A = this chain, B = another copy of it.
Amino acid sequence: MKKRLFTPGPTPVPEQVMLRMAEPLIHHRSPEFREVMARVNANLRYLFQTSQPVVTLACSGTGGMESTCVSLFSPGDTVIAVNGGKFGERWAQMVRAFGLNEVEIRVPWGEAPREEQLLQALRSHPQARAVYLTQSETSTGTLTDVKTMARLVHEHSSALVCVDGVSSIGALEMRFDEWGIDACVTGSQKGLMIPPGLAFVALSPRAIEAVARSSMPRFYFDLRRALKSQAADDTPWTPAITLIIGADAALAMIRQEGIENIWARHESLASALRAGLRAVGLRLFSQAPTASVTAVVLPAGVAWADFNRALKADNGITVAGGQGDFAGKIFRISHLGYYDALDMIACMAAVERALAAVGYGFVAGAGVRAVHEAMMQQNNGIATIKHS
């Protein structure tokens, strides 16, 4: 059976990227690899919309987040973290694990943090050195308005704005310099369309100053070393060579399509799929949905295990289940990365087939028709991936 991944990481990797990665290995301390690294460094700046350095680390997104935690602060520093889902919760735990004084903004799952919550935290903790935000909270399919939150932080404090962009960079609008972001982390297996194993960290001049001042114990995730190497198109430790070659190929595709077109494509795919989900009577989980991933409430009477089996075993489609308290209650469909309009129609068709298989009542074909119509109305082709 033909298999199709609709999980918010890993996401499908274009065949041409897989084949570039399968070429014979080159050594990482060689002029050939320096050239690759130089292109990757330049294109990462484009991806984050920044003129600042973006460093590449061999680790998952969690490791990238840790690099900010151990490189920007000193023990005892106060850090405000928004916790509104599994990833926000993870960053809150991480900040505490390293002996930082963590102030938590608790947000119910499926909601975005409110401006008043942030202002209240900043007022109560004027000594805060940073605010951690999750742009796209994958566990709940929720978007945080990072642009507005960053503006508020800068208006009311000198705290750094640190963004988990793992499930958003290369999918959702991010203007690192223009929005005043200080640190933004992403992973390879999301919008970047390559397998997991790399994290990328963009750093503002203020963040780079903080790295120089930080006294946290660190070695592998020391951003001072990473920045120094990055400036020479090198890495402090052995890089994950094949994944960086994959990033080179994927970033070339991203440049060719154009980052603004990619952001628009994700909006378009998410909104079309949602039209289809609504047409069969399904309800979104999030009150502030992100275009990276759509979290859908499982209808009453539909057991996740049965629905998932029908999707996967009978239709070859892998989606993500709910996490934490919402395991068995929601499911999540990714729009992240290498998807076009026809993928969304195929996914909707499989969701309809699986719903029918588990006895859920709806007008057969209504979902597919709604996705198709939404795509036709958009009519401007932005849901097509425009590279060769």
Residues of A within 8 A of B (CB): 3, 5, 7, 9-13, 18-19, 21-28, 30, 58-63, 66, 69, 93-94, 97-99, 187, 189, 195-197, 217-222, 237-243, 318
CA distance A22 to B243 in the complex (A): 11
CA distance A99 to B238 in the complex (A): 24
Q: Other than A97-B218, A196-B240, give 15 A-B pairs with Cβ distance below 8 A.
A: A3-B24, A12-B24, A18-B24, A30-B318, A58-B58, A58-B60, A60-B238, A60-B240, A61-B237, A63-B63, A99-B217, A189-B238, A197-B240, A197-B242, A217-B217
How many Å from the CB of A193 to the closest CB on chain B?
10
8 CB contacts below 8 A, A to B, read A10-B27, A13-B25, A18-B23, A19-B22, A59-B63, A66-B219, A93-B219, A187-B238
List, in ascending order, chain B residues with CB within 8 A of A60's CB. 58, 220, 237-240
List, in ascending order, chain B residues with CB within 8 A of A239's CB. 60, 196
The answer to whether A25 touches B9, judged by C-beta atoms less than 8 angstroms apart, is no
List, in ascending order, chain B residues with CB within 8 A of A11's CB. 25
CA distance A18 to B245 in the complex (A): 13
How many Å from the CB of A216 to the closest CB on chain B?
8
The answer to whether A197 touches B63, judged by C-beta atoms less than 8 angstroms apart, is no
List, in ascending order, chain B residues with CB within 8 A of A238's CB. 9-10, 60-62, 187, 189, 196
How many Å from the CB of A66 to the closest CB on chain B?
5
How many Å from the CB of A323 to the closest CB on chain B?
10
CA distance A91 to B115 in the complex (A): 46
List, in ascending order, chain B residues with CB within 8 A of A218's CB. 97
List, in ascending order, chain B residues with CB within 8 A of A189's CB. 238, 241
Q: Which of B7, B62, B318 contacts A220 (CB 8 A)?
A: B62
List, in ascending order, chain B residues with CB within 8 A of A28's CB. 10, 196
CA distance A86 to B180 in the complex (A): 40
The answer to whether A21 touches B24, judged by C-beta atoms less than 8 angstroms apart, is no
The 10 closest A-B pairs by CB, nearest first: A197-B240, A22-B22, A195-B242, A62-B237, A60-B238, A18-B22, A60-B237, A97-B219, A66-B220, A196-B238
CA distance A9 to B237 in the complex (A): 12
* Contact (A7, B27) CB under 8 Å given A197-B197, A220-B66: yes
By beta carbon, the residue of chain B nearest A190 is: B238
List, in ascending order, chain B residues with CB within 8 A of A222's CB. 97
List, in ascending order, chain B residues with CB within 8 A of A242's CB. 21, 195, 197, 242-243
CA distance A10 to B29 in the complex (A): 10
The answer to whether A58 touches B97, judged by C-beta atoms less than 8 angstroms apart, is no
CA distance A241 to B196 in the complex (A): 6
How many Å from the CB of A195 to the closest CB on chain B?
4
The answer to whether A58 touches B197, judged by C-beta atoms less than 8 angstroms apart, is yes
How many Å from the CB of A239 to the closest CB on chain B?
7
CA distance A21 to B18 in the complex (A): 8
List, in ascending order, chain B residues with CB within 8 A of A243's CB. 195, 197, 240, 242
List, in ascending order, chain B residues with CB within 8 A of A98's CB. 217, 219
The answer to whether A5 touches B27, judged by C-beta atoms less than 8 angstroms apart, is yes
CA distance A367 to B5 in the complex (A): 54
CA distance A238 to B7 in the complex (A): 13
CA distance A334 to B27 in the complex (A): 13
By beta carbon, the residue of chain B nearest A9 is: B238
